[in-house]
Each structure stands twice: as C-alpha cells, then as structure tokens.
Structure 1
Amino acid sequence: MQSLKIQEEIKALKGLGQHLEEQLKLASVELGDFSDGDLALLDKCVHYYALSHIHEFNLNFMRDFYCAKKRDCIENRQTKVQQRIELQRIKSAIEEATRDVAVLERFMSAAEERLIPDIVVLQRNSQHLATKQALLDRQKTLKIPKDFNIESVIEKVNSLERR
C-alpha cells in the first residue's frame, strides 16, 4: 500500500516535470541556457513549490522574477557608473586642492622669508619716534622771525636758478 502511494507520487511528479518542461519549451527556455547559479535557484524554487504543495507553474511569476532581477542589475550598473563619476570628480577636486595647497605653501615660505621680526619693527618704530621728537625739539628751538616770508625766498631761489 505504502509503495503504491510512493509509485503514484513518483508518477505524478514525473508528469509534473514533463508538464513544466513543456511549459519552459513554450517560453523558448532550455534548461541548458541557465548558469549553475540559476539552476541552483530553480532547484530551490522547485523545492519550495514542493514544500508548499503548489504544482502549478505560472510563467508570469518567472517573468516577473526575471524582470525584477534584470531591473536590479541595471540599477546596480547605473549606480556603479554614477559612483565612478563621483569618484573621478572627488579625485579631481583632491588634485586641485593639492595644487592649491602647494601654491599656498610656496607663498607662506616666501612671506616668512620677507617677514620682519616684531622686535625689529618695535626698534624701528621707537627710533622713528625718537627722531620725530628730536626734530620737533629742534624746531621749537629754531627762532624764525615774524616777518619771514617763505614765498619770497622760493621766488629768489627760482630766479637764481634761471640765471
């Protein structure tokens, strides 16, 4: 009795296999067209169909699955291309920034060479202030007559130069 059930089940499964192969041929799909990975995926699919006792193979599900996988593949390729473009843009920006840094470093080294230390600037400033104060003091001691006309002196110098 048990063996009769098993034989009937085997016969039903062979018939189902024949039926599925015919449906695949109608869709112009040969099992030899699939890669090993695809065949393993089909084996899993068949295993799940057997576990869920679904014996009717709907070709639309296979098309939907194929279209979804194809869309994912195209989206992945598009993402890769966009990421390559973005990577190239980033590399270009890095190269430009590197060039800018080199220019700025050269400018800094040239500016540091020309830089006058703070002590020297303070010394010069104090010297200038001292000189200014000395000149102001000398000017105060200088007695200029009230009737002195600088314009007349300039005219006399100019006339002497013309002669």
Structure 2
Amino acid sequence: MYKTVLILFLVCFACYLPFSRRPDFVDGKYTEGVVVDSLNIKTNQHFPRVKYEYSLHQYQTFDPAYVLNKYTRGQKVKVIYEDAHPEKASVYRMWGYWVRWKEILACIVIYILLLQLSIAITSNPSQERLDDIEAEEKAPKIRKPRYDGNTF
C-alpha cells in the first residue's frame, strides 16, 4: 500500500510541476545572465545575484535557492523571464526553477498526511466489515469444477 500511495503522489506531483512554474517555461524567454556578488547590508553577507539584460534595461534577480548552488563571480547562467515582467526571472536549472525548497517541504508534509490517512483507514475496519470477514471464514468452501462439460 505504501508503494501505491507513493506512486499516486509522484504522478500527481509530476502533473503539477509543468503548470506551476513562473516564469512559464513554454512562453518564457531565455537569455544569458552573469553571476555578480551583492552585499546584503543587514547581514553583511555576500549573496550571488544574476544580472541580465532585456530591452536595453539591466535587471538583477536573486533566489534563496542560489545559496546552495555554488556560483562563482562572472559565471554565465541561463535565465528565464516573461516579457510582461522581466524583473521576475529565475535561473533555468533543476534546483531553483524546477525543484524548490517550499515545494519539497510541502510534498513531504502532504505525503506523510496521505500515508497516515491511508493507514488509519485500512487498519481500523468497521464492525460490519469484521462480521463479514468472520462470516466468509465460517462459510463452507465450495469447490467449483473447471469445466462443466457443456462447452457448446
């Protein structure tokens, strides 16, 4: 049963992914961006920001998922953005665009809840079902012949 729940969950998640990406990977535009360091004044830490150009304007984007990826200053990366909102861009790669922290944590929580629900449903049968099982066990077993002889 655990395998069934896992497979069902993975199929639903795979159907959710393509329709939830922003900027949209089908209609989005791709460009090349350059990684630049930026200083956060509050924490006095350097975070990688990606600088890219669109329609003679320069934009910078940052995503907390970038912290886990090792970017070096000057590295060129593929950026995806929408024409309507070029300031809302993302680096086009597996971690950060397709897979995100919030979604991973939400998936784990939802999977655990579904698993607990399925365990609760199957491990606590109703009294009617227990009576049916007991009646099936007490009923005499009738063996049916494979062929009754009248095949025509």
Larger Rg: 1
More helix by share: 1
Q: Is the strand fraction higher in 1 or 2?
A: 2
Greater relative contact order (Cα < 8 A, sep 6+)? 2
Q: Compute the TM-score of the two structures, normalised by the length of structure 1.
A: 0.30
